[in-house]
């Protein structure tokens, strides 16, 4: 694997909840921060997109009687809350960190600009890209793919609860086999659920490789950066 210079790390909001299932677990938050800081100290530029599922999901809001667009806007705001928690934790660790939001809301964060994010990354900041794409009917996976392409990331690292992509759901099917690598076409053909199709297509069309790995096991991010085979790599 090439030496990684710039990565976009996608964290799920749900993982941030830790065992509680919702809200923000300070233990999980600190674990994540420690991992990411260690990687940044190796000289890797890190941009982060975090979901909002631990606070609010558009579709579940819709089910409760909130119409879709409003529900999605609430979901996007939830990603901003998680992003602020990340920034606070990075700053507490003595790291330089900046939040960019896709929807204008200074002084909560700076309005997103890919040029400014690139500049901040070059200056050694960890950048947190909040608010999804700013549009309803999209996901934070799509926001992660879009931002990764825009800022010229070498890889999109998708942190999940499992250590890669399997032939079937390993939590349900014990005979499921893990892929070390797989092409985007094969993922489509087999109908595997890696990311939503909009996100996948963006990565495929822009030749952005994706690594799917288990973010909840301590030390994994560093191992991944060191080139250990603990993820499934999806590429063209």
Binding residues vs ligand UDP (CB under 6 A): 12-14, 51-53, 57-59, 71-72, 75-76, 78-79, 132-133, 135-136, 138-140, 142-143
> Shortest gap between Cβ of 97 and ligand UDP (angstroms)?
20
* Alpha-carbon distance values, 163 to 24, 31, 146, 198, 214 (Å): 23, 17, 23, 22, 4
Quote the least distance from Cβ 34 to ligand UDP, whole Å.
Answer: 21
Q: Which CA distances in Å does 101 have to 50, 129, 131, 222?
A: 12, 6, 5, 27
Distance (Å, rounded) from C-alpha 166 to C-alpha 5? 28
Q: How crowded is residue 43: how many other Cβ atoms within 10 Å of its Cβ? A: 11
Q: Taking CB positions, which residue lies at the least distance from ligand UDP? A: 51
Least distance CB 71 / ligand UDP (angstroms) = 6
Rounded CA separation 42/138 (Å): 33
Cβ proximity to ligand UDP: between 12 and 101 the closer is 12
Q: Which is nearer to ligand UDP, 57 or 120 (CB)?
A: 57
Q: How far is the CB of 7 from ligand UDP (least distance, A)?
A: 17
Q: Which residue, 132 or 209, is less far from ligand UDP as judged by CB?
A: 132
Closer to ligand UDP by Cβ: residue 53 or 164: 53
Query: Closest CB to ligand UDP among 75 and 164?
Result: 75
**Shortest reach from residue 108's CB to ligand UDP, in Å:** 16
């Amino acid at each position: 694997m090439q030496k990684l210079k710039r990565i976009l790390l996608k964290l799920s909001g749900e993982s941030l909840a830790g065992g509680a299932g919702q809200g923000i677990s300070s233990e999980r938050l600190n674990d994540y921060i420690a991992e990411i800081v260690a990687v940044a100290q190796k000289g890797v530029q890190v941009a982060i997109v975090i979901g909002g599922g631990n606070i609010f999901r558009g579709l579940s809001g819709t089910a409760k009687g909130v119409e879709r667009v409003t529900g999605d806007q609430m979901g996007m705001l939830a990603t901003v809350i998680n992003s602020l928690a990340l920034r606070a934790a990075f700053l507490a660790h003595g790291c330089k960190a900046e939040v960019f939001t896709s929807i204008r809301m200074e002084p909560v964060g700076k309005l997103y600009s890919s040029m400014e994010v690139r500049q901040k990354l070059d200056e050694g900041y960890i950048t947190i890209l909040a608010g999804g794409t700013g549009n309803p009917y999209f996901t934070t996976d799509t926001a992660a793919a879009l931002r990764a392409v825009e800022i010229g990331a070498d890889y999109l690292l998708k942190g999940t609860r499992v250590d890669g992509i399997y032939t079937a759901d390993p939590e349900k099917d014990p005979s499921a086999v893990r892929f070390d690598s797989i092409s985007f076409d094969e993922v489509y053909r087999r109908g595997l659920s890696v990311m939503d199709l909009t996100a996948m297509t963006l990565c495929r069309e822009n030749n952005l490789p994706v690594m799917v790995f288990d973010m909840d096991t301590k030390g994994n991010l560093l191992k991944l950066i060191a080139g250990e085979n603990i993820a499934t790599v999806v590429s063209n």
